[in-house]
Amino acid sequence: MAVSEVVSQRAFARTPPRSATTRLLEDERWLAVVLLLPTVILLGLFIAYPFVDGVLLSVTDARVGVPGSFVGLQNFESLWHDTIFRTAVWNTFVYTAVATVFKLALGLWLALLLNRHFKGKAFARAFILLPFIIPTVLSTFAWKWMFDPTFSVINWTLFQLGLIHTRINWLGDPNLALISVIIVNVWRGVPFYAISLLAGLQTINPELQEAAAIDGARPWQRFWHVTWPLLLPVTMVVVLFSVVPTFADFQLVYVLTGGGPANATQLFATYAYQIGVGTGLLGEGAAVSLAMFPFLLIVVIVQLLYIRRVEVH
Amino acid sequence: MPRMNRRKLLKLSGAGALAARTGGIAAILASGKAPAYAQGTTVHWLRWNDFVPSSDVLLRSQIIPACAKDLGITLNIEMINGNDIQARTTAAIQSGTGPDVICALNNWPQLYADSVADVSEVAEKIGKDQGGFYAESTAVANNGKKWLGVPWCIVGAENAYRKSWFEAVGLSKFPETWDEYRAAGKKLKAKGQPIGQALGHSFGDPPTFWYPFLWSFGGMEVDKNGKKAALDSKATVESVKFAVAFWKDCCDEGGLAWDDSSNNRAFLSNTISSTLNGASIYLLAKREPDKYQTEKGTPLWQDILHAPLPKGPAGQFSYQLPMTNMLMGYSKQQDAAKKFLAWITSKPVYQAWFDSQGGYTVGATTIWEQDPLWNKDPVMQPFRLVGRGAQFPGYPGPADRRAAEVLSKYVIIDMYAKAVQGMPAEDAVKWATGEVEKIYA
Amino acid sequence: MIEGAKWRRWVYFYIPLSAFILWLLFPFYWMLVTSVRPDRELYRPWMAPNYAPFWTAHPTLEHITDLLTGTLFIRWMANTLFIAVISTLISLFCGILAGYALARLKFRFAGALGTGIFITYLVPQTLLFIPLANIIRNFQLGDSPWALILTYPTFLIPFCTWLLMGYFKAIPRELEECARIDGATRWKAMLYIIIPIAVPGILSAGIFAFTLSWNEFIYALVFLSSAEQKTVSVGVTSELVRGDVFYWGQLMAGALLGSIPVAFIYSFFVEYYVAGLTGSVKG
């Protein structure tokens, strides 16, 4: 195995006297091996192996406690005809796309606001992170209470402002339910976007802005032609790392709606859980989880290529 | 109440001594000092955290010491949210390590049939001693060949309703048929006092209402032998049509977003007139009369009564939530765990727990119908017989894995939800039939 | 800066910022009010005339004391903190080394390895937790904080590595070369020149990693069993959601106490992290 090879190489690297070690580490390739070793071991052990296990599971008809036999791609084939699965795929794409666009737009706006000097800046920057810090399960309980058809403080406020006359059934209406879930996801994600983009903004030399201002550029033009291109690399990494957990989101929906009403908020991960854990069909559940993979891969490859292109220029 | 329990528990060793003469497990039970076990034998019991806090107190402060004293077994009780038990169970089975005994809800013993130990000996003895198990408990815990777990209890579900509100629309007792219920609900909703019913994805309230609803119209997911999906029928379509009208005329339409806790809150805050639920609403209101009051400022519990679900054209049905203690096959404490199960389900020990529940759950055996507990509070009387006639999803077929799949995919619930949201009844039934047929294929 | 009339400052700055703060922090205000609200008031529907969502006439500390004395909340906080800190440190350690290697060293398969590390981030947890339970058992880590400390890095390392790769790449090569001309070894140049410059990046990766471990639910639920070992998310939900009754006051108190202290710690780091970037990378 590759891992054991690497281990023995490392042992070899250590045995000679100190100067030899140092000399060895001067070689870029050896240094790379040493530096990558901890990561490769950890990921190999705790991801690669279970992942292969999961893949093997997905081509069997295994149930909880029953190893099952090889069935080829039958699980995937039956998913193809599964209406709930199709709903889940569609929902997941809508959920990820809409939530990401809003997180990015609002996060960027907030970052631009926070990039100014004002009283209480430090306080505002830290406390704006709260939605991101709080354990998701617990904040989702709070949202659940705020969306509750009988107790909704949001409805009360809108009613008092004269904007509505009857209650809004946030989590009960099939279209609104997905929107409500997206609202909570955006709420949780905006702080992360804002702070990361803020860090990116601060690396941009203010002189560039000033030069553009002297040339007579309007604020909007300055943002579009100066700030945004410089911010793009950071933005792409942030988006990349937020799209993946959004796509695979589980907790939020699990607590808020359980995928209901009538699967209006069913996502990949919740459906995989329902089948794998709820019904004990581990093979099929693994297939649902795994079906997520190619979709994610496409999304990610597009982004990676884009990042490369941005980096080259 | 706790004091009484302690007294009862103190009698335990005495009761065991009597049983000792009958031999078998009871003999070992009774020997007090538990000679068979090396010190430090631990049985890990995973269960949901009870709605009744005093039951948890009882388990921790009295059952654990009593178990150590009577059996020499250190009992380790872990309580988690009912929703999360399946994730734990699945991981435990797949990795072959985890709690020795898991208290399952619904028909999980059937799901995990290949991973649980055969506890026929214990279950049959308990059944024989205590007047037999209810059909529903048997259906979920026995696969026709052996017992996959020892039935523990049944969480009763009845309609909790507001006496004064129903009286105000001219009903001195709870409606007996769906038509009457709908007529009453229409009047109540017009007064801003709708019926509350969950129609979302949560494991308790939606299934316990909508399955019996389907059955009472003559609908069923599968035929009697469990061979052929049978959802597509005129009766099913009728039930869906009725449901849509019932929902519009009588129900709080927020119910589509409700989970198992929502109707409790809605009822306790005087916004709904009736809802199918465990006794938790009444018991909580009674426990804290200052907190839960009617709109007139009187204690709410005095205005609550219970009644079973109404009758439909095909009769009257109910689905109560059964619980079963499974002894896991991977457990290294097979003997000790069996003895523990026999002990904790035996009448004297179970009695203490049963009392602490105050009627929230009934025993899985018929003997508990006779318990004096039921004479204490007439409002709780309707729960006494919930175990009788209760059916499990899959009815009239077996409560097997496929029934569990239909249940955990919320196919039946979503059939009604889709129709209520505007899909024509025939289409909703067609969709659900497709799903059910795939599962039973 | 926004130039011109005062109203422009209001329209372009104060109003949007206030709206953001209101939206992001309102749920916390809501948790606060809920956690000091007596149960009687909690059960009031929104249409009720005396529904007062934004304040309570009879604040009570009952829920908070119940939470602190009736449950192991403090213990759960300590567990979560311990697990999050250690797993963050492990991930940062791995991420810094791997990120440096992938960004600044030339060797075969560098690109493939980088992609490989990223791909592990794509593997959904719902697929992993069952096979992982097996490994946890083989290492006899069940019901021990180490089960989480060792599994959390699986989703933290890819992030840390990639984020830090970006930072390392942005550092001019000349800096390192200068040091090497002065006689520093590659190893020392990395340790004393490159890593210190990347501190802001390391901090941001650390904040992210810490937060993800602080939030995690499924692994914590599946791998831990005794009440004393649980983390905040799992402890609070398994203790305060009982059958079909939620203990709202305590739940919200738990949510609040489980996040505000961390925000205070962050208030120190965030400033450092955001400000530290200025001038260091592109200056």
Report chain C residues whose CB lies below 8 A from the CB of B266: 45
Q: How far is CA B301 from the centre of its chain?
A: 22
Q: Is B98 on the interface with A (CB under 8 A)?
A: no
Q: What is the DSSP string of C195-241?
A: HHHTHHHHHHHHHHHHHHHHH--HHHHHH--SGGG--HHHHHHHHHE
**At residue C147, does pLDDT exceed 60?**
yes
- Residues B305-322 as b/e (b if ≥16 CB within 10 A, e otherwise) read bbbbbbbbeeeebbbbbb
Residue C142: per-residue pLDDT: 83
* Spans of chain B, pLDDT less than 70: 1-39
Domain spans in chain B, listed from the N-terminal domain onward:
2-156+321-383, 160-319+409-440
| Model confidence, pTM | 0.88
Residue A16: per-residue pLDDT: 44
Q: Are B147 and B342 spatial neighbours (Cβ–Cβ below 8 Å)?
A: no
Q: Do A169 and B259 touch (CB under 8 A)?
A: no
List pLDDT tens digits, range B249-277. Answer: 999 998 998 988 899 989 998 999 999 99
The predicted model gives A266-290 an average pLDDT of 91
List pLDDT tens digits, range C211-222. Answer: 889 989 989 988
List pLDDT tens digits, range C10-51. Answer: 888 889 999 999 999 999 999 999 899 888 787 777 777 777
Nearest by CB: C242 against B51, B84, B290 = B51
Q: In what order do the strands lie in the sheet with B158-162?
A: B274-277, B158-162, B304-307
Percent of chain A with pLDDT over 90: 32
Q: Is C204 on the interface with A (CB under 8 A)?
A: yes
What's the CATH code, domain A82-312? Answer: 1.10.3720.10
Nearest CA in chain B to C224: B88
Q: How far, CA to CA in Å, does B321 sit from each of B112, B196, B265?
A: 18, 19, 20
Quick one: tokens of A134? 């709080």
What's the CATH code, domain B2-156+321-383? Answer: 3.40.190.10
Q: Are B434 and B219 spatial neighbours (Cβ–Cβ below 8 Å)?
A: no
- Type of residue found at A13: A
| Cα angle: A113, vertex A116, A118; to 5 degrees | 105
Residue B15: per-residue pLDDT: 40
List pLDDT tens digits, range C246-264. Answer: 888 899 999 999 888 888 7
Cα–Cα distance for residue pair B19/B12, rounded to 1 Å: 11
Please tell me what DSSP assigns to residue B153: E
Q: Do C94 and A234 touch (CB under 8 A)?
A: no
List pLDDT tens digits, range B71-98. Answer: 999 999 999 888 889 999 999 999 899 9
Mutate to test the interface with A, among B90, B193, B429 (most CBs of A within 10 A): B90
Nearest by CB: B49 against C45, C223, C238 = C238
Where does chain A hold its CATH 1.10.3720.10 domain(s)? 82-312
List pLDDT tens digits, range C187-198. Answer: 888 888 888 888
Cis peptide, bond prior to residue B396, ω within 30 of zero: yes
Nearest by CB: B431 against A83, A147, A151 = A83
The partner residues of B195 in beta bridges, in order of sequence, read: B251, B274
**At residue A7, does pLDDT exceed 60?**
no
CA distance B190 to chain A (A): 15
Q: Which of B371, B65, B395 is nearest to B224 (CA)?
A: B395
Nearest by CB: A257 against B89, B200, B254 = B200
Q: What's the longest Cα–Cα distance across chain B?
A: 68
The domains spanning B2-156+321-383 and B160-319+409-440 adopt the same CATH topology? yes
Report chain C residues whose CB lies below 8 A from the CB of A246: none
Residue B37: per-residue pLDDT: 55
CATH topology of domain B160-319+409-440: D-Maltodextrin-Binding Protein; domain 2 (3.40.190)
Please tell me what DSSP assigns to residue B310: P
Q: Is B345 exposed, middle or buried (0-12, 13-18, 19+ CB in 10 A)?
A: buried
Q: Which chains are within 8 Å of A by 3+ CB pairs?
A: B, C
List pLDDT tens digits, range C61-101. Answer: 989 998 998 889 999 999 999 999 999 999 999 999 999 99
Q: Which of B415, B420, B427, B429 is nearest to B254 (CA)?
A: B420
Residue A11: per-residue pLDDT: 44
What's the CATH code, domain C66-277? Answer: 1.10.3720.10
List pLDDT tens digits, range A299-309. Answer: 878 877 877 77
ipTM value: 0.86
Please tell me what DSSP assigns to residue A174: H
Phi, psi torsion values for C241, nearest 5 degrees:
-110, 105
Cα–Cα distance for residue pair B105/B319, rounded to 1 Å: 13
Report chain C residues whose CB lies below 8 A from the CB of B205: 244
Torsion of the alpha carbons at A266, C131, A134 and C261, rounded to the nearest 10: 170
Residue A90: per-residue pLDDT: 95
Residue C146 CB partners (closer than 8 Å, separation 6+):
none
Domain spans in chain C, listed from the N-terminal domain onward:
6-60, 66-277
Quick one: tokens of B328? 């896991």
Q: Is B282 on the interface with A (CB under 8 A)?
A: no
CA distance A277 to chain B (A): 6
Q: How far, CA to CA in Å, does B300 sit from each of A51, A181, B266, B281, C247?
A: 54, 34, 13, 10, 19
Cα–Cα distance for residue pair B367/B382, rounded to 1 Å: 16
Report chain A residues whose CB lies below 8 A from the CB of B271: 150
